[in-house]
Amino acid sequence: MAALQVEKLNRTFGALPVTRDVDLTLERGARCALIGPNGAGKTTLVNLITGVLKPHSGRVLLNGEDITASSQADRARRGLARTFQINQLFRGLTVLENLCMTVGERDGHCNNLWRSSGSKREVIDEAIGYLDSLRLTDDALKLVRELPYGRQRLVEIAIALAQKPRVLLLDEPAAGVPSSESHLILDVVAALDPDIAVLIIEHDMDVVFRFAKEITVLVQGAVFTQGTPAEIMSNEQVRAVYLGQEGHRGGHHG
Amino acid sequence: MRRRFHNHGVGLVPQVANIAVSILFDGLAYAMFLFITSVGLSVTMGLMGFVNLAHGAFAMAGGYVVVTLTRTYGVGFVPSLVIAAVVVGAVSVVFERVLYRRLYKSTDLEQVLLTIGLAFMAIATATYLYGPIPKSVPLPEWLQGDVNLGFRYFPSYRAFLIVLGAVLIAVLWYAFERTNIGAKIRAAVDNRRMAESVGINVDRLFTLTFAVGSGLAALGGGLAIQLLGLSPSFAVLYLVLFLIVVAVGGLGSLKGTLLAALVLGIFDTGGKYLLADAGGFFVYVVTVVVLLIKPAGFYGRE
Amino acid sequence: MAASDTIGGTPRQRATDYLLRRHRFRMAEALPWLIAIAVFFIFPTRMTFGSQVLVMVMFALSLDLILGYAGIVTLGHAAFFGVGAYTVGLAAARLDWTEPISGLFAAAIAAGLVGFVTGWFLLRYRGLTLLMLTLATAILLQETGNLRSDISGGYDGLPGLTFKPLLGVFDYDLYGHTNYLYALTVLAIIFFFVRRIVYSPFGQALTGIRENVRRMHAIGSPVHRRLVTVYTIAAAIAGVAGALFTQTNAYVTLTVFDFDNSAKVMVMLILGGTGRLYGAFVGAAVYMVLEDYFSKLSPTFWQFGIGLMLVLAVLFAPRGILGLFERIGDCLAERKRS
């Protein structure tokens, strides 16, 4: 039973088809990269999987369960976490509060109207644990909007991890991060729990080839081809459609 | 005023038909007023997302300019309407440049509060200058009394309102659908960022639509004097109605504003005809029903 | 981990302490209550006015839950105030039910029910749509009351209501002393509950919804359920405020549902500062005192002044009076550090 299964997903915006008959499977522990030219519909696909958008036809299955009709929040509770291409954080709150909120919503702590939010020491300790693992502890008391963008991006990932997901979708995690700080992100991505199925949208081919065990190429909303990094690298058509456009990037890896 | 069914030996059907025609006619006149005053608000909100609750104050200002022009300076009614529209439109540009511009990126709440504050200041000023009692204006001969439309007599003023409304709708439709500027406005309402990237100067466009919209509101205010009465509280009293027309019609849509004005105008008039005091109900019931089914209004986009 | 724990003042330590201690009472919190009690002794002849201020504080407090903490902007909060006011008014005038404390409970339940039902439907919307829907709801309630003005008393209202002595013991005096202390006690109890909610994990979730609702959906928060819950609670509290209004005024009219009322309480809250619990106290008190003074001088002047105050507040003090204090406090703290 696959961790995430997408079957024949279809979606149009008006007359424009943005997702066409997409099939995708993520096994437990998968390390899959989703690549494609700009406008290929990668983020749209993630939005369809997470429930931000509803498909016109097709199914999404999480651990064998059909979640196509479920809400975003429902899917999150069942173990589907994502990061956004542009940070979606609680900017006016401290880093620690961002994490405590996530843990609190996950285990139902936030249903409590009576006890103080500090009453469950375990929530705070667990939240700090995530900060520790991403070396954000020193920033715990800082407001998110005061952090440099790279560290904010780390908070974005920390939140996704704090959901204890079984499937994690990362939308260009290193996007907008200055190159001096991007190694922080990449180290985190490399060190993710081997049990989690991870799908990462990326443009940077270095990251893709370093991280992915399989690659799906999306062009104009449809799956162009799928395969191992070696297969994709040697695929002439892929080079023409996508890698060729990148120019100096995506060079020649073995 | 409740119409009583007096049986003067006339059949029921002609009586009902007569009342229906009255409701439609009066409702149409009222709808024209609503449209003229609200269309500016709809387009500016759709274009810039700016919640301008001082819009009612612009209408009120227009009304008072007409009052001053006709009563103190003896200017004719129709010329006064035109002057009021131009003057208020011009003044609104000053407000836009000096104040509103700073708040385009602010939250809805801040825009609401700022413009409501301006409205309060305007009302207080009007009360100080003109007093709280409703004012009237001297109308030219041809707008007084009734006009014979063949099968029935109708109040001339309302007939004038309907004709004026129809003309303005035609002009606005032409400007929107057939001119370059209209196309630019529609594009910017549809997707501002894309319009800007194509080279459309949305800022200037907005100033223009804002001025025209405020001018039209002033015109509506001047027209309202005879129709509804003008007092300083006009600015807030009818603001609610304008907002409802805009919300129900859909932001940034000419068609939507017109349809909403028609539906709400006729329902309100009909309600008041048939149920007197309780008739005010209908406008709000229609609002709730429409918004629950189509939260972005008739022709709004989600 | 143990090593860094023993070092006091590490970021980890400070962060944890901050969250653990956030809900504890601070000295400064006693201030508004001391002032309220002082007013009782210093201005014994203004107790009727004092009760009205306390009623407004409660009303503003209920709005703060929705507007300040959950970030939902509505234009019909007066609806719940009105429901509470009329529950007590109708019970007293038509059913001869004049026991005050049970009246408060009935008002809370009635208003809470209306809040629950309307909230369930309306909180799926935001922006202009929600503004119009909430406005329409308040007006519809008002019009319904007007429809049966034989029952409701219409815009003339239900005058000359009398209420049984509090707890069967405390009778009402001509100067409103009993009413003031009654209102103050109820306010204190309500405030205690509101404060607990705000510092609870639920309260934290509300700020999350306000700060970034997209994120809340993505982490699995049942946003709609949370919003309906807080809306119901806020409605119930506004209902209690309305009930107190009727009880302390011995009079209620349909004007309690006016849009004016909804706007007024919003202005009070903005003035004091949203999302700050005590903003309601500061805002309502300042507004009521200014209004009392200036509108007697000249209502026109007062209206102009309020308009000007709003414009200046938005341009220069968007976080209200308390926000200004905070900024001054921050400046002083900066000064001290350097």
B214: helix, strand or coil: helix
- Structure letter (DSSP) for residue C29: G
CATH 3.40.50.300 fits A4-89+163-246, yes or no: yes
Q: Which helix (H) or strand (E) element contains residue C1?
A: none
Secondary structure in 3-state letters for C58-76? HHHHHHHHHHHHCCCCCCC
Query: Which residues of chain A have a CB within 8 Å of the CB of C226?
Result: 110
List helix spans (H) across C250-298: 259-272, 279-297
Domain C30-296, architecture per CATH: Orthogonal Bundle (1.10)
Query: Which residues of chain B have a CB within 8 Å of the CB of C139?
Result: 240, 284
State the average pLDDT for chain B.
88
Q: Which of B9, B93, B117, B268 is nearest to C266 (CA)?
A: B117
**Chain B interface with C: residues with Cβ < 8 Å:** 45, 51, 99, 102-103, 106, 108-110, 112-114, 116-125, 127-128, 236, 240, 243-244, 246-248, 251, 277-278, 280-281, 284-285, 287-288, 291-292, 295-296
Instruction: Give the max Cα distance, chain B.
Output: 70
Question: CB of C148 within 8 Å of any CB in chain A?
Answer: no
Distance from CA of C124 to the nearest CA of B (A): 9
Do the two chains C and A touch, given a threshold of 8 Å on CB pairs and at least 3 pairs?
yes
Question: CB of C215 within 8 Å of any CB in chain A?
Answer: yes
Do the two chains C and B touch, given a threshold of 8 Å on CB pairs and at least 3 pairs?
yes
| Segment 82-141 of chain A within 8 Å of chain C by CB | 82, 84, 88-94, 96-97, 100-102, 104-106, 109-118, 120-121, 123-125, 128, 137-141
Tens of pLDDT, residue by residue over A2-22, are: 899 999 999 998 788 889 999
Q: If you measure CA to CA, which chain C residue comes closest to B246?
A: C128
Q: Is the pLDDT of residue B267 over 50?
A: yes
Cβ contact, residue pair A124, C20, below 8 Å: yes
Question: What's the CA gap between C160 and C282, in Å, rounded?
Answer: 32
The pLDDT, as a whole number, for residue C2 is 32
C262 against A181, higher pLDDT = C262
Cβ contact, residue pair B45, C306, below 8 Å: no
Along the 338 residues of chain C, how does pLDDT read in single tens digits? 333 333 457 878 888 888 888 888 888 888 899 999 999 999 888 889 999 999 999 999 999 999 999 999 999 999 999 999 999 999 988 888 888 899 999 999 999 999 999 999 999 998 889 999 999 999 999 988 888 887 777 788 888 777 777 776 777 676 688 889 999 999 999 999 999 999 999 999 999 999 999 999 999 999 999 999 999 999 999 999 999 999 998 889 999 998 889 989 999 999 999 998 899 999 999 999 999 998 888 888 999 999 998 999 999 888 888 888 888 888 888 888 76
Question: What's the CA gap between C15 and A216, in Å, rounded?
Answer: 42
Question: What's the CA gap between B134 and B225, in Å, rounded?
Answer: 9
**CA distances in angstroms from A61 to A6, A48, A194, A201, listed in the order given:** 6, 12, 21, 20
Q: Is the pLDDT of residue B5 over 60?
A: no
The pLDDT, as a whole number, for residue C8 is 56
- Structure letter (DSSP) for residue C7: S
The pLDDT, as a whole number, for residue B302 is 63
A35: helix, strand or coil: strand
Residue whose token pair is 């899917």: A75
Label the pairing between strands A31-35 and A80-83: unpaired
Tens of pLDDT, residue by residue over C199-216, are: 999 999 999 999 999 999
Tell the CATH topology of B19-293. Answer: ABC transporter involved in vitamin B12 uptake, BtuC (1.10.3470)
The pLDDT, as a whole number, for residue B237 is 85
Instruction: Give the max Cα distance, chain A.
Output: 62
Residue pairs spanning A and C at CB distance below 8 A: 135
Question: What's the CA gap between C217 and A72, in Å, rounded?
Answer: 6
Q: Is the pLDDT of residue A221 over 80?
A: yes
Average pLDDT score over residue span B91-96:
93
- Structure letter (DSSP) for residue B3: P
The pLDDT, as a whole number, for residue A242 is 66
Query: Which residues of chain A have a CB within 8 Å of the CB of C23?
Result: 116-118
Q: Is the pLDDT of residue B275 over 50?
A: yes
Question: What's the CA gap between A81 and C131, in Å, rounded?
Answer: 33
Residue type, C174: L
Contact C60, C265 (CB under 8 A): yes
The pLDDT, as a whole number, for residue C283 is 94
Q: Which of C261, C277, C242 is nearest to C76 (CA)?
A: C261
Task: Write down the domain spans for chain C.
Answer: 30-296
Strands of the A57-62 sheet, one edge to the other:
A16-26, A4-13, A57-62, A65-66
What is the number of other CB atoms lying within 10 angstroms of the CB of residue C293? 10
The pLDDT, as a whole number, for residue C1 is 30
Cβ contact, residue pair B120, C310, below 8 Å: yes
Phi and psi angles of residue B87, each rounded to the nearest 5 degrees, phi first: -60, -50
Distance from CA of A147 to the nearest CA of C (A): 15
Query: Which residues of chain C have a CB within 8 Å of the CB of B127?
Result: 300, 303
Q: Which of C55, C233, C238, C53 is nearest to C141 (CA)?
A: C238
Question: What's the CA gap between C107 and A193, in Å, rounded?
Answer: 54
Cβ contact, residue pair C135, B240, below 8 Å: yes
Q: How confident is the model at residue A249 (pLDDT cuts 50, 70, 90)?
A: very low
End-to-end CA distance of chain C: 33
Q: Enter the pTM of the model.
A: 0.90
* Cα C317 to the center of its chain, rounded Å: 21
Cβ contact, residue pair C132, B110, below 8 Å: no
The pLDDT, as a whole number, for residue B39 is 94
Contact B262, B31 (CB under 8 A): yes
Task: Write out the two tokens for B54.
Answer: 């001082």
The pLDDT, as a whole number, for residue B149 is 76
Q: What percent of chain B has pLDDT over 90?
A: 49
Cβ contact, residue pair B114, C307, below 8 Å: no
- Structure letter (DSSP) for residue A192: S
Task: Write out the two tokens for C40.
Answer: 């009782």
Q: If you measure CA to CA, which chain C residue comes closest to B284?
A: C136
Q: Which of A18, A16, A14 is nearest to A41 (CA)?
A: A18
Contacts of C105 (CB under 8 A, 6+ apart): none
What is the number of other CB atoms lying within 10 angstroms of the CB of residue B91? 17
Determine whether B4 is exposed, middle or buried from the number of CB atoms within 10 Å of its CB (0-12, 13-18, 19+): exposed
The pLDDT, as a whole number, for residue A252 is 43
Task: Write out the two tokens for B167.
Answer: 């003309």
Q: Is the pLDDT of residue B176 over 90?
A: no
Task: Write out the two tokens for C209.
Answer: 């919804």
The pLDDT, as a whole number, for residue B258 is 96
Question: What's the CA gap between A190 and A208, in Å, rounded?
Answer: 11
One-character DSSP codes across B108-174: HHHHHHHHHHHHHHHHHHHHHHH-SSPB--PPPGGGSSEEE-SSSEEEHHHHHHHHHHHHHHHHHHH
Cβ contact, residue pair C311, B114, below 8 Å: yes
Chain C adjacent subunits, 3+ CB pairs under 8 A: A, B
Tens of pLDDT, residue by residue over B59-90, are: 999 999 999 999 999 888 999 999 999 999 99
Question: What's the CA gap between A135 and A122, in Å, rounded?
Answer: 19
- Structure letter (DSSP) for residue A40: S
Average pLDDT score over residue span A56-74:
93
- Structure letter (DSSP) for residue B276: G
Q: Which of C3, C216, C204 is nearest to A123 (CA)?
A: C204
Q: Is the pLDDT of residue A246 over 70?
A: no
A102: helix, strand or coil: helix
Task: Write out the two tokens for A29.
Answer: 């522990």
Cβ contact, residue pair C197, A113, below 8 Å: yes
Q: If you measure CA to CA, which chain C residue comes closest to A138?
A: C11
Q: How confident is the model at residue A251 (pLDDT cuts 50, 70, 90)?
A: very low
Residue whose token pair is 């749509």: C129
Question: What's the CA gap between A237 and C276, in Å, rounded?
Answer: 60
Task: Write out the two tokens for B47.
Answer: 């274009």
The pLDDT, as a whole number, for residue A50 is 94
Distance from CA of B120 to the nearest CA of C (A): 5
Do the two chains B and A touch, given a threshold of 8 Å on CB pairs and at least 3 pairs?
no
C277: helix, strand or coil: coil
Phi and psi angles of residue B142, each rounded to the nearest 5 degrees, phi first: -70, -10
Q: Is the pLDDT of residue A33 over 90?
A: yes
Task: Write out the two tokens for C296.
Answer: 């007697």
A4 beta partners: A26, A62
A22: helix, strand or coil: strand
- Test the B interface: residue of C314, C315, C316 with most B CBs within 10 Å: C314
**CA distances in angstroms from B225 to C147, C212, C265, listed in the order given:** 29, 46, 32
Tens of pLDDT, residue by residue over A109-123, are: 999 888 887 778 889
Q: Is the pLDDT of residue A79 over 90?
A: yes
Q: If you measure CA to CA, which chain A residue comes closest to C192?
A: A114
Task: Write down the domain spans for chain A.
Answer: 4-89+163-246
Residue A23: left if φ>0, alpha if ψ -120 to 50, beta else—which one? beta
List helix spans (H) across A32-148: 42-50, 72-77, 95-106, 121-133
Cβ contact, residue pair A118, C204, below 8 Å: no
Question: What's the CA gap between B32 and B260, in Å, rounded?
Answer: 11
Question: What's the CA gap between B192 and B200, in Å, rounded?
Answer: 9
Burial letters B185-211, b for 16+ CB under 10 A, else e? bbbbbeebeebeeeebebeebbbbbbb
